[in-house]
Amino acid sequence: MEQVLARTLPAAEIVPQRLHAAMRYAVLGGGKRVRPLLVFAAGEVAGTHADRLEIAAAAVEMIHAYSLVHDDLPCMDDDVLRRGKPTVHVEFDEATALLVGDSLQSLAFQLLAQYPLAHDAHKQLEMVTLLAVAAGSRGMAGGQAIDLASVGKTLSLPELELMHIHKTGALIRAAVMLGALCGELSAAKMAKLDHFAKCIGLAFQVVDDVLDAEASTATLGKTAGKDAQQNKPTYVSLLGVAQAKALAERLRQDAQDALDGFGAKAQRLRALADFIVLRSF
Ligand code: GRG
């Protein structure tokens, strides 16, 4: 994945060098790569080629990296540490960080449009639409808007869930569905994968909230304890650590159940669901 990202990003020598260097800084050499791994694992279930999956995986990771760069900006979360390194606006400057996000988003869609990824053009357009909706105001960016508006407020559990289904869940779901769309699956199996993806998307955020409360900055590679510091509603603030962990475990079980009937091909998806819930960083 590192090699794919390194070759799909513009070289740092190409004009404008500073922007390209910052894009590479934002994307390369860090991150768990959970979303690309989900693209590959879903593609394995749907039986397709690695050369299609690596492009879809790069597109999703670029959207993810863009969201982190913008989220860290002073006008949003105002953070100085990401993936164990100074955030992009600290290492470069705010205007560059803004452009890095914009350019990564454009590049993601360029990749989806430029390479043959699906059986036919209609299906490939479906993939472009899927990622656009997942990243936009009805997905990740919309979730971020709800997040920013809810600082200092008490949310109900359904409200918190709605926020995270959008902010975190939408892109994780898109990763799974894009991997599957690179291959061929029945509508019934797509629906099961969709349910799997929704469970792990939410579980990812529940665990993220627990880690923010329990893990150290060194382990996470980003500032720990920010949710409480910023008075953000989280699964931990609403449920407490023990119940939040129990919720994550229930979601893991639901996700695993959704894969029944897929056989050994789903082994990596199963392993990723376990990783998402049992991880320590
Ligand atoms: C700015 C449009 C816009 C959206 C921002 C995704 C997001 C919305 C903000 C990032 C901040 C955050 C805590 C989001 C929740 C999702 C999440 C836990 C992201 C971090 O993902 P990881 O843990 O990061 O997969 P790595 O670095 O491992 O790739």
pLDDT digits (tens, 9 = 90+) for 166-179: 999 999 999 999 99
The answer on pLDDT for 19 being more than 90 is: yes
Give me 9's structure tokens.
């990003």
pLDDT score for 28: 98
Which residue of 61, 167, 234 sits with most ligand 1 atoms within 8 Å of its CB, as the best mutation to test the pocket?
Answer: 167
pLDDT score for 280: 86
- Pocket flag, ligand 1, residue 83 (CB < 6 Å): yes
pLDDT score for 34: 98
The answer on pLDDT for 151 being more than 90 is: no
Q: At what angle do helices 50-71 and 94-114 cross, to 10 degrees?
A: 160
Atom of ligand 1 nearest to the CA of 212: 13
Could you report the per-residue pLDDT of 235-259, keeping only the tens digit for each? 999 999 999 999 999 999 999 999 9
Could you report the per-residue pLDDT of 121-147, keeping only the tens digit for each? 999 999 999 999 999 999 999 999 999
pLDDT score for 75: 96
- Ligand 1 centroid to 120 CA: how many Å? 32
CA dist 127 and 130 (Å) reads 5
pLDDT score for 56: 98
pLDDT score for 222: 87
CA-nearest residue for atom 27, ligand 1, is 31
| pTM strictly above 0.85 | yes
Mean pLDDT value of segment 202-219 = 93
Task: Please provide the DSSP assignment of 8-66 as one string.
Answer: HSPPTTSSSHHHHHHHHHHHSS-S--HHHHHHHHHHHHHT--HHHHHHHHHHHHHHHHH
* CATH class of this structure's domain 2-278: mainly alpha
Atom of ligand 1 nearest to the CA of 83: 27
Which residue of 67, 147, 222 sits with most ligand 1 atoms within 8 Å of its CB, as the best mutation to test the pocket?
Answer: 67
Helices (H), 136-234: 140-150, 157-164, 170-181, 187-214, 217-220, 226-229
